[in-house]
Amino acid sequence: MSVETIFIPDLGSSDDVEVIEVNVVVGEQVETDQTMMVLESDKTTMDIPATFSGKIEELLVSVGDKVSSGSPMLSVLLEQQAQELSSAQTTPINKSQEVMEELPSQPMVAQEHSTHQTVTDANISKSLVVPDIGTADAVSVIEVNVKVGEKVEKDQTLMVLESDKTTMDIPAEFSGVLKTWLIKEGDEITGGTLMGVIDVPHSVQVEVSSINTQTQENPISEQVKETTKPKIKLEKNLPANPAAANVTVDTLGSERVYAGPAVRRLAREMGVPLQKIKGTAPKGRICKDDVKSYVKDNLNKPAPPSHEQFSQPAIDFSQFGEVHSQPLNRIKQATARNMSSSWRHVPMVSHFEQSDITELEQYRREILPTQVEGKVTMLAFVVKAVVHALQKFPQFNSSLDAHGKNLIIKKYINVGVAVETPQGLMVPVIKGADQKSLLEIALQITTLAKQARDKKLPMDALQGGGFSISSLGGIGGTQFTPIVNAPEVAILGLSRASLQPVFDQVSSGFVPRLMLPMALTYDHRVIDGAEAARFMAYLAELLKDIRHLLL
Ligand code: CAO
């Protein structure tokens, strides 16, 4: 046993940050991973977890203090076996480390330029921090791919995260030897979580690729980049106006909350939605007491009737023959929840139409390949036609507000495309589809589908859709009724085009025409049947004559 001083680990910034919570007291026995304190800069909040087991001897900082990387934090009576693990925190951060740490290794200082840095002196211990993953919600760690002591290459996958909507590889930012690893499968983490510590060998040239925010100017090259590099979104963990984050009304589920990781963890453990809590700390931040008060206030309230519970009689199927149980991953479970919710809450009607795409298909197969490179399937033409139809019928690109009293009509046109992946169904969104050419749309469909199947889809690619298309045309079928992807109000289903005998008025005979079967399922609270019929007739007309799409 020995008493050691524990220092604030590398924060990725030389700036002072404020201690907003101290979660341990003198005399307390602390276990590895337990949050000791929470720091807050003007950009983010960060848990400081213990990387040791031991008894707190003295606290060297208190709430309100300003600290920086390497500041003494507390002294601890270490347990023998934990001393090796704790060295990452007991070693003060020296100057050469600070040079390295000006690189954007952590979301506390996301930098927007390309940076080269060469360090030629001793080995450097670098913190590995989960980058901004495009959502403030905690996501599950479903795979850990590294072990302490292992040599890790830059960009090697350290672990895989899974949210309700997607899975995402977290690559190593540096090459080196893994010294400490703090994450295990099943952990729930957010961007900014400390994953571990890596020893980066000396004479390493560290290249930090430029981190680009998505721009409209060059969407194709942007998308090509996205296929090779997981996107790290430069979105600050805290809103510019924190007060605005404390919206207590659930609208479309997109509001952010202003709370530190320790508070988020407590809320998660208690099953409390942070969006429902009003923060009482400065700038509207939610603190632990707010979470506890919320729980206390709600304990005595009768539970609202739940419509979302899965009710299935417990049947022992093995009595009829051999069975095996296969767990559903989070994406499949979330799809099941969303579909059930939509099915229960949205009064849906499906409207069927077919379009004569004989000329369009001829153009696509015979003329287009001579003019452009790359695959352009019928789906890209349909997205283009849908953009035109949404511009003419904007109510199909809308959502009801939370009280069902207003229709929010979207002026942007974001079209979701259902993609079948080994993990389940995902609906990435073509943002600003009205600003894109046919070829850009085709390329984006290919890119998004590949990213979804390779588990490389950035989380924000799944958000913001206004209208969805589900195409089973590449597989088969004559018709199907897709389920509205609420809070959207309509979805278009495409089945396989086939040659049909169609009566020709001019020749007074039947001629073979290639007919595309389409189904529109719509929310009948928002859209009337006659509007749906007009929308589909217009869409069929657009696809029948390629010239319409050129306008
Ligand atoms: N009729 C006839 N052929 C069609 C067609 C249609 N409606 N749609 C596509 N095809 C053809 C394509 O042209 C392509 O053939 P060629 O290579 O000869 O041109 C072939 O079928 C395969 O197409 P694809 O599926 O690779 O590409 P896509 O652009 O049509 O679809 C994507 C892309 C991502 C939507 C699709 O791969 C996919 O995942 N579909 C499943 C979506 C799903 O699961 N929906 C159900 C959700 S529940 O509502």
Pocket of ligand 1 (CB under 6 A): 377-379, 417-420, 425, 445, 449, 470-474, 482, 494, 496-497, 516
| Higher pLDDT among residues 415 and 270, named by residue | 415
pLDDT, one tens digit per residue, over 64-79 is: 888 888 888 999 998 7
Q: How confident is the model at residue 300 (pLDDT cuts 50, 70, 90)?
A: low
Q: Which of 341-345, 369-373, 519-523 has the lowest mean pLDDT?
A: 369-373
Is pLDDT at 551 greater than 70 in this prediction? no
**CA pair distance 491, 484, nearest whole angstrom:** 5
Peptide bond into 487 cis (omega under 30): yes
Residue 236 has a pLDDT of: 31
Atom of ligand 1 nearest to the CA of 474: 21
Nearest ligand 1 atom to the CA of 448 is 34
DSSP letters along 425-458, please?
EE--EETTGGGS-HHHHHHHHHHHHHHHHTT---
Q: In the chain, what percentage of residues exceed pLDDT 90? A: 42
**pLDDT tens by residue, 467-512:** 999 999 999 999 999 999 999 999 999 999 999 999 999 999 999 9
Range name among 44-48, 81-85, 131-135, 405-409 with the lowest pLDDT average: 81-85
* E strand spans, 130-208: 139-144, 151-152, 157-162, 167-171, 176-181, 188-189, 194-200, 204-208
Alpha carbon distance 233, 489 (integer Å): 29
Expressed in angstroms and rounded, the spacing between residue 476 Cα and the centre of ligand 1 is 9
Find all residues with CB under 8 Å of 54, minimum gap 6, and list them. 29, 30, 76, 77, 78, 79, 82, 86
- In angstroms, what is the C-alpha Rg of the chain? 27
Instruction: Give the closest residue to 125 by CA, choosing from 151, 107, 98.
Output: 98
- For 10, 111, 113, the CA distances from 99, given in Å and listed in that order, are 11, 15, 16
Q: What is the distance between the alpha carbons of residues 107 and 232, in angstroms, rounded to a whole number? A: 10
Q: Which of 438, 471, 498 to mutate to test the pocket of ligand 1 (most atoms within 8 A of CB)?
A: 471
Structural contact between residues 334 and 164, judged by C-beta atoms closer than 8 angstroms = yes
CA 221 – ligand 1 centroid, Å: 24
Q: Quick check: is 524 catalytic? A: yes
Q: Is 544 helix (H, G, I), strand (E, B) or coil?
A: helix
pLDDT (0 to 100) of residue 514 = 98
Q: What number does the ligand 1 atom closest to the CA of 379 have?
A: 29
In order, the DSSP letters of 497-535 are -EEEEEEETTTTEEEEEEEEEEEEEEETTT--HHHHHHH
Q: What is d(CA 480, CA 483) in angstroms, rounded to the nearest whole number?
A: 10
Q: How confident is the model at residue 302 (pLDDT cuts 50, 70, 90)?
A: low
Give Dmax (Cα) for the chain. Answer: 99
Q: What is the pLDDT of residues 436-468, one digit of tens each?
A: 999 999 999 999 999 999 988 988 899 999 999
Q: Whose CA is nearest to atom 49 of ligand 1?
A: 482
Of the candidates 155, 156, 138, the one whose C-alpha atom is nearest the C-alpha of residue 146 is: 156
Ligand 1 atom closest to the CA of 483, numbered from 1 = 49
Q: How far is the CA of 379 from the centre of ligand 1 (A)?
A: 7
Mean pLDDT confidence for 89-117: 32
Residue 440 CA to residue 468 CA, distance in Å, equals: 18
Residue in 377, 430, 518 to alter for ligand 1 test, most ligand atoms within 8 A of Cβ: 377
Half-sphere exposure (Cβ direction) of 436: Cα atoms closer than 13 Å: 29
Is the pLDDT score of 100 beyond 90?
no
For β-strands 157-162 and 139-144, DSSP reports them as: antiparallel
The gap between the terminal CA atoms of the chain, to the nearest Å, is 78
Nearest-atom number in ligand 1 for the CA of 491 is 49
The residue contributing the CA closest to ligand 1 atom 15 is: 474
CA of 348 to the centre of ligand 1 (A): 25
Q: Which of 73, 79, 69 is nearest to 32 (CA)?
A: 79
Summarize pLDDT for 392-415 with one digit per residue, the tens: 999 999 999 988 899 999 999 999
- Please tell me the predicted confidence (pLDDT) of residue 140: 87
pLDDT at 479: 97
| Per-residue pLDDT reduced to its tens digit, 183-215 | 998 888 888 888 988 888 864 433 333 333 333
Helix H or strand E encompassing 384: helix 378-392
What is residue 317's DSSP assignment?
Answer: G
**Ligand 1 atom 6 nearest Cα:** 473
Q: Which of 36-45, 334-343, 539-548 has the lowest mean pLDDT?
A: 36-45
CA atoms lying within 13 Å on the CB side of residue 307:
8
Strand order of the β-sheet with 167-171 is 167-171, 157-162, 139-144, 188-189
Mean predicted confidence (pLDDT) in 102-122: 33
**pLDDT at res. 221:** 32
More confident position, 121 or 257:
257
Pick the range with the lowest mean pLDDT from 262-266, 314-318, 430-434, 470-474: 262-266
Residue 334 CA to ligand 1 center (angstroms) comes to 24
Nearest CA to ligand 1 atom 25: 474
Atom of ligand 1 nearest to the CA of 480: 49
CA of 347 to the centre of ligand 1 (A): 28
Task: Look at 271-275, 498-502, 522-526 and tell me which has the smallest mean pLDDT.
Answer: 271-275
Q: Which two tokens stand for residue 424?
A: 């389940």
407 vs 401: CA distance, rounded Å = 6
pLDDT at residue 145 tops 60: yes
* Its pTM surpasses 0.85: no
Amino acid at 425: L
**From CA 196, how far away is CA 51, in angstroms rounded?**
9
Distance CA 502, CA 510 (A): 5
pLDDT band at 233 (very low <50, low <70, confident <90, very high): very low
Residue 124 Cα to ligand 1 midpoint, Å, equals 50
| Candidate list 202, 324, 403, 524, residue with the active-site label | 524
86, 4 contact by CB (below 8 A): yes
Which of 348, 350, 378 for mutating ligand 1's site (highest number of atoms within 8 Å of CB)?
378
CB 176 within 8 Å of CB 152: yes
